[in-house]
Structure formats: C-alpha cells, structure tokens
Amino acid sequence: MNLAAAKAALAHLDLDENPASVKSKSRDFFWYSPVLKARLDHVVADFVVSPRSEAEVIEVLRTCYAHDVPVTVRGAGTGNYGQAMPLAGGCVMHLKHLDKIREIAPGRVVAEPGIVIRELDAQTRAASGQELRMMPSTAATATLGGFIAGGSGGVGSVRWGALRDLGNIIRLRVVTMEAEPQIHEFTGEELHRVSHAYGTNGIITEIEMPLAPAYDWVSGFVTLPDFEMAAAFGAALAAEDGILLKLVTVCEAPIAEAYFQRFKGHVTPEDTTAIVMVAPHAMPAFETFLARWPAAKLIFRSDAPDWARDPGPAYEYGWNHTTLRALKVEPRITYLQVRYHGPDYLETIARVRAHFGSELMQHLEVMRENGQIIYAGLTLVRFTTEERLEDIVRIHEDMGAMIFNPHRYTLEEGGRQSADARQLAFKREADPKGLLNPGKMIAWDVPDWSYETIYAYAGMRAAQ
Amino acid sequence: MNLAAAKAALAHLDLDENPASVKSKSRDFFWYSPVLKARLDHVVADFVVSPRSEAEVIEVLRTCYAHDVPVTVRGAGTGNYGQAMPLAGGCVMHLKHLDKIREIAPGRVVAEPGIVIRELDAQTRAASGQELRMMPSTAATATLGGFIAGGSGGVGSVRWGALRDLGNIIRLRVVTMEAEPQIHEFTGEELHRVSHAYGTNGIITEIEMPLAPAYDWVSGFVTLPDFEMAAAFGAALAAEDGILLKLVTVCEAPIAEAYFQRFKGHVTPEDTTAIVMVAPHAMPAFETFLARWPAAKLIFRSDAPDWARDPGPAYEYGWNHTTLRALKVEPRITYLQVRYHGPDYLETIARVRAHFGSELMQHLEVMRENGQIIYAGLTLVRFTTEERLEDIVRIHEDMGAMIFNPHRYTLEEGGRQSADARQLAFKREADPKGLLNPGKMIAWDVPDWSYETIYAYAGMRAAQ
C-alpha cells in the first residue's frame, strides 16, 4: 500500500485527512453489537475521499488500484453489521456528493447512490406524488446506495417484500476496481451480484428503483394486553389485502413504556404495542378491523393527534429504531435478526418467547415473503456474555427460527452462513486485487471456512 | 300493483314504455347460463325509468312504494347471475344518468353509481394518474354501481383481493324504499348490508372507492406446454410481491387456440396460456421471472406488439370474457365459479381436472384471499343437461372446491347457500313491502328454505 502516492494523486479531489473526521467517517452503527464493538471500535481509515462524479469515482478506484490501497465505500454509515468499517485501513470513499436524481417517471426513479432516502422521497413526492416502496427506519440520514449495498428491507416490506425480491430494484450501474475500471449495467438476475454485497465487488454509481404512491401515511399506535394476541393481530391486519399498509410492528411489553420516551403516560408496563402506518384512505377499513379486536386500543393516530408532545413518525419506532431507542435507555441491550416463516411461524415465536423469558424482549416486523405474511424478529437481547449470545442464537436455530447474525461483520456470517457464488464470481472479475472492503467476504479470504467460530479477518489493522 | 298510477306520476321523468327497449333493458347476461336462460328468457318489466338525480331516485321509490310496483335497479346489465332481471315485472330503474364523478383525491374517488367503469378510470387517470383497484372484464360497459351491487372482484383482485374485503369499498350512500325513502351513509361493517345485495334492500346513489396508481399496464400472453405447470407458474408469479400485477389468468389448452380469434397462428391446440397485466416498471422483473421457467414463452407483449392484428387488452381475455369468447364460438359452453384455496389448492385443481377430462376446460384467475395467493376458477363447461350440471357442481364440492353457482338467480344460491343476516335485517328496514328486486333473496320469501332443489320464485311473472 503506497498511501502517500495515492493521496498525492487524489489531492485535487475532496480529500479529508483530518484525524478526527477521518475517524468519525470510518464508523458505522456496528456498536449496536457488543461483539462487533469489541472487535471494530479501533478501526480507522487513512483518508476519506468524496468524489463528485462517477468520473471521480473511477479516478479514485484506478489510483487506489495502482497503489494497492483498500477502498471501503460508505453512505451515511447507518448499517449495523459493520458494513462500512474499513478493516484494513486505506481509503474510505464517501458518496455524499453523488446525491442527484436523474429521472422521475411513473413507477420509477433514477438516482445517484449518495442521496439521503428522505430527501429522495421528498423530491419524488413533490415531482410526482411517489416515493420508494421501502426504506430503512434510518431514512432521515441513510443513503439509497447504502440501503441497497448493506440493507435487506424495512418500512414497506409489509407490502413489497424484501429489497432483493424480484422487482424491488430495477437497475444498478457499477464501477469495478481494476487497472482500468469498467462500468457495468445490471438488471434481472445480475442485480444479485452487487446488491447486499457491502461494496466488496464494485461501486454503485447509479440506481433505478421502483416507486409507489406517496400517501400521507397515518401513524397509529395500538395497545394490546397480550403479546401473542398482538402477534396474531399484526399478522391478521397485514393479511387484509385491501388495507394499504406501510408498517406493522409489534413490541412486547414493556418495550414501549420503558424505551419510547414520548409514550410515557400513554402506556403501562403491561402494554404490548402494535405500531402501524396506514394509507389515509384505508383508515376507515383499519378502524373496522380494529373494532373486531375489542382488546386493541388505538391510543394515537397522527391524523388526529392528541398527545401533548408529537411522538414523530411511526417508522422511527420500528425496525432497528426500536433497538436504538432501547439501547439508549438501557446500554446493555443489543438485538438479533430473526426470520419466522413456514406454516407454524406464530407458534415458533411463542415457543421462543416462552423459552427465554425476560432475557429477550420480542420485537416483530411483518414482511411479505413469497406471497405470504411472515415476521422478521429484531429481538431485543439483554446482553451478558458473547458465549451466552452464541447460545441464544443456537437455541433460536434449534427451535426453527432463522438467524441473520448482526454480531458478525462478514457477508456470510450475517447472512445464510454460506458463500454467495454470484457475488464471489463477480468479485474475481471486478476486484482482482481484493481491495474493495477487505475482510467482509470470507469466501474470498478463506474459501474452505467452516463457520464453527467467529471469523477474524487476518488483514485487520491492529489498534494503534 | 297500480302500474297506471305509477307511470302517470313518473311521466315527467325519463320514462321508457317502448316494448322493444323495455324488453332489452329488462335483460342482463343471465344467458351465459342455460339454466337461467330456460327460466328467465321471458322476463320483462312494465316500464323503465332513468332518474337524473338522487332526488328523482327518491321520487321513483316513493311513487312505486305508494303503488306497490316492484323496482329492479340496473346498470349496464353485465351480470351473469340474473342480478338485474325484473322477475315480477314492474319498474326497472336504470341509473345511466347518474354518471358523475364528485371528487377525486389521493387514493380515492367519489362517484355516482351509473358511471361506466372505463369512463371513470379515464377521468381519474387524466385528473390524478389513478384508477380503480379492480374492475370486471366488462369494464368497457359495466357501471360502478352494478359492479358493487352485483360483482365480487375481478381484474386487480390478484393484488387487492375481493371487492368485499375490508378497504376495497370506502363508503356507500343508499336510499331505501319506504313511504318516505330514507338516505343512509354506510362505512365499515355496514357496507356488507348492501354490497353484493343485487339492489334487494336499497338503491346505491353515491360510492366512495379507493384508487390505485394507473399505470400503462403491459398485456402479456405466455404459452406453456402443460396445464399444471401453468397453474404453478401463475401462482408463483403472483407470489412475487415485488412484481406489480393486475391480472394473472391461466387457460387450459385448447381455450386460446379454439376461442381467441386473434391468437390464431400464434398458439397451437396444445398450448396452455397465461395472460397477465404487468406494470411497465415491473417488466424487467417479469422477464427475469420468465427466464426461470424455460418452457414458458412470451408470445405477445403490448409494449412491443408484433402481431398483425391488435389482440386488445389482456383483461378482455380474462375473468368472464374467457367464457364470453368461448360461448360465442361454441354455444353449448357455459361455466362455473369455483374457489380453490387452502394449502393444497393446486392439488385440488389437478384432481378436479383429472376427474372431468374434456367435459370441462380449466380457466383460473389468481386472487388474494386473507393475505394468501388462491385461484378462482371460471371453468368452462360443455353443457349437456341440467342434471349433469348439478352433478358437476356436487362433484366439485365433494372434491373440496367451493362453488358460487352461476346457474341460480338468488343471492343465497349464487353465494354460500345460506341467508346473509345483515342483508336480510336491512331489507326488513329498507324495503318493508319487499318490492326491491323481488325473488332474489330467498331468506325474505321462504326463511326455512332447504336448498335441496333450485329455488323457483313464486312471484315470477309467467311468460306472455
């Protein structure tokens, strides 16, 4: 790695070498995980470059390739798996300047990766009454490119499924890291080469996404006396095909009372809560549905607010904002990402909950998967030791719940614990020196890895 | 019944007594059924009145109430269950003049019942880029009020479920037939009093419906070599939550070759066809899906048409347009309405098909029901005798397929073979003399009816 030469060659770009800001731009939200915090807290890049165009992206990649400097791409750094942590140092490429919308049409938008999702939605809404089908709960700061490279779904998945499902990304334009970087346009099956690949095999420079109508979604908060009833309520609500929803979150008691500051006085420690986003024209049907569940109480609706302090949008209580709010109050809290599907998914959830008691707090998000209603669990965990956390993961798996382990920084360990042949094959082509986000793809480093212990990237730069 | 007095009192309205046009306006599409044709072909009203406002609707109802004249409401008369046939004669109230749109807003429209659905969609599209969530295949002529009073779903149900599912109708304004007709506004659970009630317990004068985005839907025709593969293909396509669809129709061979004139030369008698409507921005994902089914061939797409003669929109090959095209070619053809759901619905379809062989031709429409993908069957039947048709219905039911019998003119027999307590209770209130569309609600006429034989309304006017 010839850092000095690379920096000199890139000096005419927006280059940041200030130690404090380089350190801050070398971090994402890995610290949700005590396991990752112990391993990644010291990680820092050598410099940050923020290209202003695709041409400058290509220049950065060509230059860093020539000087063997690793390049880790980032957006807002809201990922929780250490997706944007530059394990081997080198260059962090920040895409904040690539924030333009190129085209808005019925049902789709073409944009640059660095645009903040809330800003994108504001622009598409103003221009066409449309917005993205789905977004992370961090939409206020997260970028579109970061969501595609590091995310998997979120607010909107109750209707549209996961980000990688057919049709939820239309086209990606990708630059490779070679002596002479190449540009590829990917659609269809090819999208899987680079979506959710953490920037390990190319840099996304343009994105075409489907759009859905942008309604003035009503945030609704519902209390229920019982968790299993609430889980059944959420699933039944989402199964109403005629009630247009954007979010259905279920939080076991006492999550709302204990961690949602603005809920104080409106909920008790015994209240399970369901948090929903409903299209305004579906509110009458939602009220009709609610009346069929006499134990469910609608305690807040944003179209007729009656709390002294505005609680803000519903989606900032769902997905990983639930975790964020909990760990701000109770720092030992971390979480799991669980998938409950199959015909008995509600029973699986009940069994898991009964097994663990208060060590876990159940937090569920409705998703669609293969045309079915399923639950993602973003279970809150009262962390004690890494060993116990491993036990908790194993017990979930033994009980039939699938885990996407958020205490791992590699694609494989955070995913399905197996190599993705398409991502690996494209990395061979697009990143022959293995300089893109090093240490995140085990299949590249150690092809015969057994997954028996947590992977420790050998090239990780030591704490200084 | 004092016809003369009623006609005299209504003479200042748009009143039609011309025998030829009264006869024509006394008919709907009951003749799809040889059973109904044998029983209803002679049915004719005494006069037709076409009110120009809700006030005139009220005047008609008040006047006919005073003179004991039955009133059967109609739109375009595209129903196949004899919904609009005036069994006891009297007055047909034609709502063609009530065709105004009152309000278009994000996600909803308020309109009068007599508006033709295609015209409504054209206006909402022009004003706001929106259209109805679902429509019958007869949208070119069918009215909105007729769809709600006599229909159950259709093109769009692949995404939104059935018309009576929560959220698919927002509000109905209804006038009763009393000495002094009353106006009711129904939402929520109350909608079920009058939706799909054939106008037996009130006249709908205003309708608020949810809207969805109006895309330039691409009509696609796909051939597959095998029916069971095609049924699996259609269900798998609809289960792709990220591929926005409006129609997925499956027609067993040789339906397309034998009955779809414009398909000649493009299909063989061995081709099963899948007929789809796909949002333009979902076409790349649809093509990706198609490529996963190597035996499926896309033989036509309306965004790149290459047939010498335009086949017209896909939806005019689906739902009951499939039947219409078939019986135009082969007049002995009639149909069944089947519902295949539950975990083994594809196996049920295969079993039914194997049992009947060429006596039936399978025609399937994907729907959503309770958040699940299911199939409606609009099975083509080579009619022989009424007795055999009864056998066919019974065999379906014995094999686990639910039948909505389109060879019956009563609400109960065409539905779930049981009285609808809500509709009956409201009829007691809204139509105390039993003058609204008489003979269509068995529960009103014969509360203890056993459903062992086909119901024959005692008040049916004899052929003249």
Distance between alpha carbon A50 and the CA centroid of its chain, in Å?
22
Assigned fold of A101-214? 3.30.465
Please report which confidence band the pLDDT of residue B94 belongs to, taking 50, 70 and 90 as the band edges: very high
Contact A281 B105 (CB under 8 A): yes
For B281, which of A108, A215, A368 is closest by C-beta distance? Answer: A108
Contact B39, B32 (CB under 8 A): no
At A463 the pLDDT is 82
Measured between CA atoms, the residue of chain B closest to residue A373 is B371
Q: Is the pLDDT of residue A163 over 90?
A: yes
| Nearest CB partner across the interface for A107, out of B133, B280, B371 | B280
Instruction: Please say whether the beta carbons of B430 and B447 come within 8 A.
Output: no
Among B174, B210, B211, smallest CA distance to B192 is for B174
DSSP of B54-93, one letter per residue? HHHHHHHHHHHHHTT--EEEESS---SS-TT--TT-SEEE
Asked if B166 and A243 come within 8 Å (Cβ–Cβ), the reply is: yes
Asked if A158 and A366 count as a contact pair (C-beta separation under 8 A), the reply is yes
CB contact under 8 A, A188 and B215: no
Indicate the residue of A235, A243, A371 with minimum beta-carbon distance to B241. A371
Range A184-188 average pLDDT: 97
B188 to A287: CB separation less than 8 angstroms, yes or no: yes
Average pLDDT, chain B: 97
Q: In Å, how far is A152's CA from the nearest CA of chain B? A: 13
CATH 3.40.462.10 assigned to A218-382: yes
Give the distance from residue A166's alpha carbon to the nearest chain B alpha carbon, in angstroms.
5
CA B10 to chain centre: 31
- Which residues in chain A have their CB less than 8 angstroms from residue B243's CB? 166-167
Q: Is the peptide bond before B254 cis (omega within 30 degrees of 0)?
A: yes
Region label for B428, one of left (φ > 0), alpha (ψ between -120 and 50) or beta (otherwise): alpha
Cβ within 8 Å of residue A361, ≥6 positions away: A251, A252, A254, A255, A326, A379, A380, A382
Residue among A108, A187, A288 whose CB faces B166 most closely: A288
Residues of B in contact with A212 (CB under 8 A): 213
Closest Cβ–Cβ partner in B168, B235, B242 for A168: B242
Residues of A in contact with B372 (CB under 8 A): 239, 371-372
The tokens describing B385, both together, are 């005798």
Q: How far is A352 from chain B (nearest CA, A)?
A: 25
Judged by CB atoms closer than 8 Å, whether chains meet at B281 and A210 is answered as: yes
DSSP H or E stretch at residue A185 = strand A183-186
- Give the C-alpha distances (Å, rounded to integers) separating B225 from B290, B306, B333: 14, 22, 24
CA distance B404 to chain A (A): 21
According to DSSP, the residues that pair with B152 across neighbouring strands are: none
Query: Looking up tokens 């259905």, which residue turns up?
Result: A248
Our CA-based measurement puts residue B311 at a distance from the nearest CA of chain A, in whole angstroms, of 25
**Do B10 and B52 touch, CB atoms closer than 8 A?**
no
Nearest chain A residue (CA) to B288 = A188
* A250-276 tens-digit pLDDT: 999 999 999 999 999 999 999 999 999
**A76 C-beta neighbours (distance < 10 Å), count:** 24
Domains A101-214 and A218-382 equal at CATH topology level: no
The CA distance from B125 to B141, in Å, is 18
Query: Which residue type is seen at B190?
Result: E
CB B320 within 8 A of CB B376: no
User: Please, what is the average pLDDT of chain A?
Assistant: 97
pLDDT band at B140 (very low <50, low <70, confident <90, very high): very high
Q: What single string gives the DSSP state of each residue in B114-147?
A: TSBHHHHHHHHHHHHSEEES-B-TTTTT-BHHHH
Is B243 close to A288, i.e. CB distance below 8 A?
no
Write the pLDDT tens digit of every residue in A109-136: 999 999 999 999 999 999 999 999 999 9
Question: Which sequence spans correspond to the domains of chain A?
Answer: 101-214, 218-382
Among the partner-chain residues B167, B239, B244, the one whose CB lies closest to the CB of A371 is B239
Return the pLDDT at B5.
98
CB B202 within 8 A of CB B430: yes
B282 contacts in A (CB within 8 Å)?
107, 167, 210
Tell me: pLDDT of B406 over 80: yes
Provide, as residue numbers in chain A, all residues whose Cβ is less than 8 Å from the Cβ of B190.
none
**B371–A281 C-beta distance less than 8 A:** no
Q: Say if pTM beats, i.e. exceeds, 0.95.
A: yes
Are A165 and B241 in contact (CB < 8 Å)? Answer: yes
Q: Is the dihedral of CA A419, A344, A294, B190 positive or negative?
A: positive
Of A213, A232, A210, residue with least CA distance to A222? A232
Contact residues on chain A for B213, CB-CB shorter than 8 A: 106-107, 212-213
How far apart are the C-alpha atoms of A387 and A367, rounded to whole Å? 30
Give bridge partners of residue B267 from the DSSP assignment: B264
Gap between the terminal Cα atoms of chain B: 18
Distance (Å, whole) CA B199 – CA B149: 6
In this prediction, residue B463 carries a pLDDT of: 82
Which pLDDT score is estimated for A378?
98
Backbone angles phi, psi at B102, to 5 degrees: -100, -35
- φ/ψ of residue A191, rounded to 5: -60, -30
